[in-house]
Amino acid sequence: MMKNVLISSCILLIFSSCANVGDGELTGVVERPTWENSIPFGMLYMPMGSFSMGPSDQDAPWALTAQNKTVSLQAFWMDETEITNNEYRQFVYWVKDSLAYRKLGDANEKYLISQDEFGEEINPPFINWSEPINWSGDEEREALQDMYLAENERFFRRKEIDTRKLNYEYFWIDLKQAAQKHQFENQERRAYNYKTGKYDGEVIKENGEREAIKDRSSYIMKDILNIYPDTLCWISDFTYSYNEPMATMYFWHPAYDNYPTVGITWKQANAFSIWRTQLKNGFLKGEGQAFVHDYRLPTETEWEYASRGGLNHSMYPWGGYYTRNYLGCFIANFKPMRGNYTDDGGIHTVVVAHYEPNEWGLYDMSGNVSEWTISAFDESAYSYIHDLNSDYKFNAVEDDSPTLKRKVLRGGSWKDVAYYLQCGSRTFEYQDSSKSYIGFRCVRTYEGRKHGADGVPGDSKIY
């Protein structure tokens, strides 16, 4: 009898110590990370909704790449302007500093964190960002010497960072493959890791045979990418045209800080989005707050929905049928008339937010620079994409044909005629191409809000 009582007491003790039972009601888990649904810096709220996707005018080039289709989208945040030179420079500087920390850590352990709070070894170690780099110190200069251009490559003996070494290592998870509920068998679809000399997600046996990894890591895709903009695109894009001043000054000179960054490939834009996500979530982790949705490139459906600004059937983001306002002035930066580039106020790119925004406050959704989307380009995509959060993706690798590397461009640029400024116009560029007329902006899926919290302007239905 006493033994049964003792056993019952132990069971009650276990349940009372391991479970938050409260008064016996279903209350959910109480101890959860804090979360503040604040507006992301530099972004605007795009409410959920449905719209008629596709051309709002005749198909002038008879390209037959789009049809009208009613689609619905969940709410999301979108950058108010295109990513500027100075914003992208923050990414470049972060990569430069992280490489410097790694090199300095080999000589001085103060630059790295090799143990966690429990005294266990961290391998590889974290960067100790709280320890500033003394770039002029004797020890530091010697350790960082190979980050600079060799003497025979310097102009007028200026000691400058070798931008060819600004490589960013990043990863993403192939959720679509994981959703198939089987291991990743197609090794050619994996990203190639230049450090290990093999495709990530595979094991090379001693006899040289390749074997797929059968655990969760088989869906973790890695890549190493040089992230410095192609400043020479200003020259290579145009034959018999003098654009050397833009090539030498556009990205780094303070005069162009608030101009849209260009010379960025689709892969670099994706790498930037992943870095931006990690930057934000790293801060939130330190504050004990929950993570946010990933920053990313918009799908072409999201881009068109946002560009229309709630004006469902309008040809242009500003809602009218014309590229001039009531005063006769052009209202976007493009190639007006028969090539009078200056008639709209700019000879090439202009500072972001120079023209009036659309109804939802977004600037330069038409003109200035064309914008990368995350979507792959297929002429018949509208025929088979879903009508809910429509999208079509394809992760092309190096050996794929150029057709598979096409990514959708939207919005038109400073060198394009008015047709490409229309909300429904679509074209493409190859994912590894960098152009002087292509930039990008990011989006982030809306996380929702707690019941009873302050609402988001423009959408009182979300809880």
Contacts of 309 (CB under 8 A, 6+ apart): 317, 319, 358, 359, 360, 362, 365
Better pLDDT: 107 or 45: 45
Where is mean pLDDT largest: 11-25, 33-47, 256-270?
A: 256-270
pLDDT tens across 379-414, in order? Answer: 999 999 999 999 999 888 888 889 999 999 999 999
CB 329, CB 355: distance < 8 Å:
no
Better pLDDT: 434 or 462: 434
Farthest-apart Cα atoms in the chain, separation: 100
User: Which residue segments constitute the domains of the chain, with CATH numbers given?
Assistant: 44-84+230-446 (3.90.1580.10), 167-226 (no CATH)
**Predicted local confidence at residue 186, as pLDDT:** 47
Type of residue at 336: P
**Predicted local confidence at residue 453, as pLDDT:** 43
> What percentage of the chain carries pLDDT values higher than 90?
56
> How many whole angstroms separate alpha carbon 103 and alpha carbon 99?
6
**Predicted local confidence at residue 43, as pLDDT:** 96
Mean pLDDT of the chain: 85
Q: Is the pLDDT of residue 427 over 90?
A: yes
Q: Is the pLDDT of residue 114 over 50?
A: yes
Better pLDDT: 73 or 206: 73
> Is the preceding peptide bond at 40 cis, omega within 30 degrees of 0?
no
**Predicted local confidence at residue 237, as pLDDT:** 96
> How many whole angstroms separate alpha carbon 463 and alpha carbon 449?
5
Instruction: Using only the alpha carbons of the chain, give its radius of gyration.
Output: 26
Structure-token match 């410095």, residue found: 228
Distances (CA, A) of 408 to 40, 92, 298, 354, 403: 26, 25, 10, 25, 12
What is the average pLDDT across 419-448?
A: 95
Whether the model pTM is above 0.85 = yes
What is the average pLDDT across 300-312?
A: 95
pLDDT tens across 38-70, in order? Answer: 889 999 999 999 999 988 877 777 777 778 899
Lowest-pLDDT range, 107-121, 224-238, 291-305?
107-121
**Predicted local confidence at residue 30, as pLDDT:** 80
**Predicted local confidence at residue 208, as pLDDT:** 62
**Predicted local confidence at residue 137, as pLDDT:** 85
**N- to C-terminal Cα distance for the chain?**
54
Better pLDDT: 226 or 30: 226
pLDDT tens across 175-209, in order? Answer: 877 776 655 544 444 554 444 555 555 555 666 66
Lowest-pLDDT range, 57-61, 132-136, 149-153, 447-451?
447-451
* 236 — pLDDT class (breaks 50, 70, 90): very high
